[in-house]
Amino acid sequence: MKQRPSSKWLLMLAALFLAGCGGESGGGGESDAASATIDNTAEVEADYAAEPDFYRFKTLDDLPADLVWENGADLPEIGSPEAKKGGTRYIALPDFPRTLRTAGPDSNGAFRPYILDNVVTLIAHLHPDEREFYPALAESWALDPETSTVYVKLDPAATWSDGVPVTTDDFFFMFWFYKSEYIRAPWYNNWYGTQYTNITRYDDRTFSITSASAKPDYASRVLELHPRPRHHFKELGEDYLERYQWRFTPTTGAYVLRDGDLKKGRSIVLTRNKDWWAKDKKHFRYRYNPDRVQFNIIRDTPKRFEAFKRGDIDQFGLALSEYWYEKLPDSDPDVQAGYIAKSVFYNEYPRPPYGLWMNTSQPLLDDLNVRLGVQHASNWQLVIDQYFRGDAARLKTANEGFAEFNDPSIEPREFDISKAQAYFAAAGFTERGPDGILVNAEGQKLAFTLSTGYENLADVMTILKQEAQKAGLELRIEILDSTTGWKKVQEKQHEIHLVAFGRFLEMYPRYWEHYHSDNAYDDAFLDDGSINPDRELKTQTNNLEAFADFEMDGLIDRYRASQDKDEMVELSHQILNLHHEHASFSPGWYQPSLRLGHWRWIRYPDYFNHRYISTIDDLWVHWIDTDLKKEVLEARKSGKTFPPKIQVYDQWKP
Amino acid sequence: MLNLNPQTLKKLRRFRQIKRGYYSFLILAGLMVLLAFGELLINSRALVVSYEGELYFPTYTAFHPGTDFGLDYDYEVNYRDLKEKFAADGSGNWLLMPLVPYNAFENHAPGGIFTPLAPNAAQQHYLGTDTTSRDILARLFYGTRIALIFSIGFMLSVYLIGIAIGCSMGYFGGVFDLLFQRLIEIWSNVPFLYMVIIIFSVIPAAFSVPTRIAILLAVMVLFSWTGMTYYMRTETYKEKARDYVAAARVIGASDSRIIFKHILPNVLSTLVTFMPFTIVGAVSAITALDFLGFGLPPPTPSLGELLKQGTANLRTAPWIVISAFGTLVALLTLVTFVGEAVRESFDPKTYSIYR
């Protein structure tokens, strides 16, 4: 009798405990609600039917007869024929990915390139040397500039990694997916909702897509699309975020995540799909060589570097001078013994424009003279000479790297204390206070918060602060972690912020995002062009300068509407000049090269990499020489050495 | 003359007999004096400038623009360059620099490149420079000063709140005690470090550095005063039951008079023994927070920030971590020695063994 109550207690405790566990695993995986079956087939089809102009269904007979089909098959191969398949590539991530989704909140992290951006196969890709299209999912395509329509015939071999063929349905669904509210991705909603006017189905493997405007690059807007697997997203609905949080989306690319290869918070392993449909295709066969890609989480940069020096990860970006010259100098024993190779690779790509983004909606910064003063008080040359040791170059405008769209006649403003002081004086700051900082007649100090989300650039901030002080300007440094920093500028809470936007390889720069008043204020101007007194600052946009100028709006609208390249170039120059005069962006520096340290067993083609790439891993042309790896590891123990490998590849140096 | 009661004198005498603690105390006191006049020892401003027959003492005054001394710029004079200029033109002008002619903020890169410089007596960087070429000795010195001021401020505030509330709890007892005990139990379960990190991360950088340090101090005090109340409460309970308290009450002394004039001096020994350890705790806490990047706002010199730099550059610049770690160890050891000696000398039993 005595035992009964206690065992009851135990049961209850056990029940409580289990309930606790259930709750926990429900948070990370699929909760009961999420495992309820959804089938959105009817909803999707109803939406297709509701927009008959957008989603059009025709037959092969309707296909225009006079189309000229091209397939880019003559373009040279990518990668090296020497490449060998096999081995494991080890990579360290700074943070565990917050989701496996590739759209929606938190999806745009450091891990996404490995499951989407750098491995995905598009309809066709821009060739990294020739800038012409080579085929991927498409067998061939035809362009119709009159209607800005692109016709596509899919490769019959194209399949998703789970064996399901890629069909026209997946492209129809791509539009439905990216236009859907369920994915909580307003940028995609807007882009797919406004940039395209129609997709037409001719048969299972033939379709056409029409762009909203006949911009000179309309072809790439269509050909660089990638489909979404219709069969995988059958359950897409209101609970998309939770339901697809940790589900690997079938891919048309080379790497898949197999069940059990994701250990939350610890590691991820991607495996090369041995039956990948494109593995023998001309432009893919020498790429995506490692059999496995193992990701470990190492949060600290110095620790990641130590892991690299131990050989736990295969390569390490040495963009910072500190790493290139001191932590891994040419005289390093591992470099001298030839175990670790150092490579500098110059190429052409629009580089991230590092500089100071001044929020013109803040008091004082709304004064042009103050902004001009700040420009002349920013000693970028000292940053470049002393911190980057001359390896970086001074940025001239925020939009360099877009060939003729850039205006080479614009010169950035130099560090000049007397000019800075003249401008500050014009803004009313004439006296220096007891600490050397300028004050105006009301006793207000000339001080701004200089914030950044790049912890590794703290030293740059210190230099700028010290130098600005000479001109009587105080910069209060605020170093935030990247998420907080980004949030701050998105909320437009910053005064002056140091940041750079990643650039894509596009034909021409985007101005609307950064400089149009639509992204600065709600109803910035009245109809006659005067400032709307009731306007309110608009947050969550990339117009970090709160740039609102009636003339600029007009230029950008014309630029966006223009279908003539020469006119766009002309407009682009005007926009850049106007932006320069406005002085709300102090152009800092850019890195003209990619620098890398990598263990000898990571092999690259003789020419190292291709002309238009943004990161070394963009194209996956490297391979792992497993025999060499064994040899190097043994040599390290026995003390045997190889000839050192320190190379500069400057064949694409602009 | 200070009139100390014989009990206290006895304790002080005993403190002097504990050599380790006593010398530590003397060293610390000396250090405090040095720190207080730090600007005269480690500073980029000259101690004395003699320019065209006039004497200037720029250390504690407003800044002198370069034009004051015949230079062509109107920002703060670089006195090191000025010294060389004076020596070169032999005009009879002269100036005297402090022992270490650098302040804690300026980047001084002799090679023109911002990189850690090994200790170098010729350049007068006696402990080398950090990753942005700031003098480590200057940063350590002012970092220590800020840490100590911060800790003393922390200790005083924590004690003030802790004593007031703890004594009241013990003295009044009953519902008041019960209520506050529950309150403290709840409050002390709020994770201190996370709260500090969260609150400090939302303080806008637009506030000046001293304001932000004051806010950090306030937040830390807010989450640290509870520990003191337990001791004060029990001590007060104990003392309250003594005859002298009853006597005072019979005479008609007010509650506050009884607490502060009668009870507090009798529980002082408990308090005093805790003090050094509170300081040790505060120095460690502020260093740890700095190390994590949530402490003193940059570019305030701090031990934690130097430690962080040091661990990130262990291989290439070991002198950073060595000096920061050495200073921290020395400082905490000294304070701990003093603390142990105080505890021993205030112990009513002459021969006690600590376990």
Confidence band of B1 (pLDDT split at 50, 70, 90)? very low
Q: What is the share, in percent, of chain A residues with pLDDT greater than 70?
A: 94
CB A565, CB A547: distance < 8 Å: no
Q: Where does the pLDDT of residue B351 fall: very low under 50, low under 70, confident under 90, or very high at 90 and above?
A: low
B201 contacts chain A (CB < 8 A): yes
B255 falls within a domain:
yes
Percent with pLDDT over 90 in chain A: 63
Q: Does B76 touch chain A (CB under 8 A)?
A: yes
* A463 to chain B, closest Cα gap in Å: 7
Measure B52 CA to nearest chain A CA, in Å: 23
Task: Look at A435 and B62 and tell me if their CB atoms are within 8 Å.
Answer: yes
Taking CB atoms and an 8 Å limit, are B297 and A478 in contact across chains?
yes
B216 and B322 fall within a common domain: yes
Does one domain contain both B57 and B164? no
User: What CATH number has the domain bearing residue B28?
Assistant: 1.10.3720.10
Query: How far is A364 from B45, CA to CA, in rounded Å?
Result: 32
Identify the residue whose tokens are 């009450």. B249
Same domain, B305 and B222: yes
- In chain B, how many domains are there? 2
User: Per-residue confidence at A24, pLDDT binned at 50, 70, 90?
Assistant: very low
Is residue B328 within 8 A of residue B307, CB to CB? The reply is yes
For A261, the token pair is 């290869």
Q: Cβ of A553: how many Cβ atoms within 10 Å?
A: 20
In a mutagenesis test of the A interface, which of B132, B198, B294, B313 is the best target, namely the one with the most A β-carbons within 10 Å? B132
Residues B64, B27, single domain; the answer is no
CA dihedral A281, A283, A284, A290 (to 10 degrees): 140
- Residue B167 included in any domain: yes
Cα dihedral A46, A51, A54, A57 in deg (nearest 10): 50
B105 Cβ under 8 Å from any chain A Cβ: yes
pLDDT in tens, A437-485: 999 999 899 999 999 988 778 889 988 998 999 999 999 888 887 777 8
- Cβ A435–B113 below 8 Å, yes or no? no
Adjacent-strand bridge partners of B50: B55, B94
Instruction: Tell me: pLDDT of A21 over 60.
Output: no
Q: Is the pLDDT of residue B307 over 70?
A: yes
Give a yes or no: residue B119 inside a domain: no
Residue reference for tokens 């927009």: A51
Report residue A28's pLDDT band, with 50, 70 and 90 as the boundaries: very low
pLDDT digits (tens, 9 = 90+) for A512-569: 889 999 889 988 888 888 888 888 888 888 899 999 999 999 999 999 888 888 999 9
Token representation of residue A186: 């307003």
User: Could you tell me the pLDDT band of residue A575, with boundaries at 50, 70 and 90?
Assistant: very high
Q: Is residue B113 part of a domain?
A: no
Separation in Å, CA B247 to CA B167, B250, B267: 19, 5, 18
Pairwise CA distance, residues A581 & A561, whole Å = 24
Looking from the CA of A200 toward its CB, the CA atoms found within 13 Å total 16
Q: Tell me what pLDDT residue A277 has.
A: 94
Chain mean pLDDT for chain B:
86
Q: Quick check: A27 pLDDT over 70?
A: no
pLDDT of residue A607 exceeding 60 = yes
Query: A639: buried, middle or exposed (CB in 10 Å: 19+, 13-18, 0-12)?
Result: exposed
Residue type, A15: A
Q: Which residues of chain A neighbour B290 with C-beta distances below 8 Å?
A: none
| Two structure tokens written together for B177 | 């005690």
Asked if residue B59 lies in contact with residue B45, where contact means CB atoms within 8 angstroms, the answer is yes
Distance from C-alpha of A621 to C-alpha of A79, rounded to nearest angstrom? 5
Partner residue opposite A451 with nearest CB, options B63, B205, B209: B205
Domain membership flag for residue B300: yes
Distance (Å) from the C-alpha of residue A646 to the closest C-alpha of chain B? 21
More confident residue, B136 or B194: B136
Q: What is the mean pLDDT of chain A?
A: 88
Same domain, B147 and B240: yes
- Residues in B closer than 8 angstroms to A477, CB to CB, are 205, 297-299
Verify that B237 and B266 share a domain, yes or no. yes
B70 within some domain: yes
Does any CB of chain A come closer than 8 Å to the CB of residue B295? no
pLDDT at B329 over 90: yes
Which among A366, A368, A387 is positioned nearest to A376, based on CA atoms? A368
Could you give the C-alpha distances from A99 to A119, A247, A501, B3, in angstroms and in order? 18, 9, 23, 71
Across A547-551, A570-574, A627-631, B85-89, least confident range: B85-89
Residues B25 and B72 in one domain: no
Q: What is the pLDDT of residue A15?
A: 41
Q: Which of B129, B137, B101, B125 is nearest to B309 (CA)?
A: B129
- State residue B26's pLDDT score: 95
Partner residue facing A386 (CB), from B109, B208, B298:
B109
Is B113 at the interface with chain A, CB within 8 A?
yes
Q: Are B144 and B74 part of one and the same domain?
A: no
Regarding whether B73 and B169 lie in a shared domain, the answer is no
Q: What is the Cα–Cα distance from B164 to B192, expressed in whole angstroms?
A: 21
Query: Which residues lie closer than 8 Å to A501 by C-beta, 6 or more apart?
Result: A352, A353, A542
- CA dihedral of A271, A274, A276, A281, whole degrees rounded to 10: 120
Query: How far is residue A147's CA from residue A144's CA, in Å, rounded to a whole number?
Result: 6
Which residue of A387, A429, A438, A494 is the best one to mutate when testing the B interface, meaning the one whose CB has the most B CBs within 10 A?
A387
| B168 and B74 part of one domain | no
Please name which of A602, A597, A594 lies closest in space to residue A626, comparing C-alpha atoms.
A602
Q: Which residue has the tokens 């056409």?
A: A208
Mean pLDDT calculated for residue range A380-389: 89
> DSSP string spanning A187-208?
HHHHHHHHSEEEEEEEETTEEE
DSSP per-residue string spanning A526-566: -TTSPBPTT-EE--SSS-TT----HHHHHHHHHHHH---HH
Q: What is the pLDDT of residue B206?
A: 67
Q: Do A462 and B107 touch (CB under 8 A)?
A: yes
Is the torsion defined by CA of A225, A231, A232, A234 positive or negative? positive
Best mutation target among A385, A467, A478 (most B Cβ atoms within 10 Å) is A478
Q: Tally A–B CB contacts below 8 A.
A: 82
Cβ separation of B132 and A459 shorter than 8 Å?
A: yes
Whether chain A has a CB inside 8 Å of the CB on B63: the answer is yes
Q: Tokens standing for A66?
A: 């006079």
CB-nearest to B107 from A433, A463, A478 is A463
SS3 content of chain B, % helix, strand, coil (to 5): 65, 5, 30
Residue A36, token pair as written in the block = 């309820």
Cβ pair A469:B76 closer than 8 A: yes
Is residue B93 assigned to a domain?
Answer: yes
Cis peptide preceding B299, ω within 30 of 0: yes
What's the rounded Cα separation, in Å, for the pair A234 and A41? Answer: 7
B191 and B291 share a domain? yes
Contacting residues of A for B134, CB less than 8 Å apart: 462
Question: Which pLDDT score, from 0 to 100, does residue A182 have?
Answer: 92
Length of chain B: 355
Closest residue in B to A416 (Cα–Cα): B73
Shortest distance, CA B50 to any CA of chain A (angstroms): 21
Q: Do A459 and B65 touch (CB under 8 A)?
A: no
pLDDT of residue A252: 94
**HSE (CB half, 13 Å, CA atoms) of A646?**
13
Higher-confidence residue of A244 and B295: namely A244
Would you say A153 and A140 are in contact if contact means Cβ atoms under 8 Å apart? Answer: yes
Band (pLDDT 50/70/90 cuts) for residue B35 is very high
Q: Do A459 and B106 touch (CB under 8 A)?
A: no
Cα(A349)–Cα(A402) distance, integer angstroms: 8
Q: What's the rounded Cα separation, in Å, for the pair B324 and B331?
A: 11
Interface test with B, best of A381, A386, A437 (most B CBs within 10 A): A386
B340 and B257 within one domain = yes
pLDDT tens figures, A305-359: 999 999 999 999 998 888 999 889 999 999 999 999 999 999 888 888 899 999 9
Residue B59's domain spans which residues? Answer: 48-97
> Nearest 5 degrees, angle CA A47-CA A52-CA A55?
75
Q: Give which of B64, B129, B135, B315 to mutate to test A binding, by max A Cβ within 10 Å.
A: B315
Which structural domains are found in chain A, ordered by start? 40-84+100-252 (3.90.76.10), 298-343+592-649 (no CATH), 354-590 (3.10.105.10)
Within a domain: residue B191? Answer: yes
- Structure ipTM: 0.75
